[in-house]
Amino acid sequence: MSLRPCFLSHVVIDEHAEQQVVFVSERGGSRRFPITIGVFEATAIDRAVKGQRFPRPLTHDLLMTCLESLGARLGEVRIVDLQEHTFFARLVLVRGDQPPVEVDCRPSDAIALLVRRTEVPLLVAEHVLAEAGG
């Protein structure tokens, strides 16, 4: 599978709508596409992008802390498929010299983790970019 580097270009939050939108853009290219997500995930992404901190860990912060406590780190976020208007993502977890582990997840959760670690690459399958990114 051919993967292209991308980035989260912006988050659109409409407080009066149930669904929110994040836009993923191709790095060094012109393609971009929207992913519709829930309000809670959009809020989690938006808060992390803005650097807002809370006295107690929120869900995505908790997951990152758990990974790190187990000696693992988020190596990559991949958006790997698009089927019937639904995107599919994978987290690539790295632990020392062990082989990477891929975990299936929703793109909204993957992006919520990604924005907490700016060094982690976002990669999108070429066929997803071709179909969704026009």
Mean pLDDT of the 77-94 span: 97
Summarize pLDDT for 3-33 with one digit per residue, the tens: 999 999 989 888 888 889 999 999 999 999 9
Question: How do strand 32-38 and strand 19-26 relate by DSSP bridges?
Answer: antiparallel
CA distance 105 to 116: 16
In CATH, which superfamily holds the domain spanning 3-132? Bifunctional nuclease domain (3.10.690.10)
- The DSSP code for 51 is T
Residue 14's pLDDT is what?
84
Q: What is the dihedral of CA 53, 58, 60, 64, to 10 degrees?
A: 80
Q: Judge whether residue 134 has pLDDT over 80.
A: no
Q: Judge whether residue 102 has pLDDT over 80.
A: yes
Give φ, ψ of 73 to 5 degrees: -145, 160
Q: Judge whether residue 34 has pLDDT over 90.
A: yes
Range list of H helices, the chain: 39-49, 59-69, 107-114, 126-132
Closest CA to 126 of 33, 23, 8: 33
Answer whether 12's CB lies under 8 Å from 21's CB: yes
Domain range summary for the chain, segments of one domain joined by +: 3-132
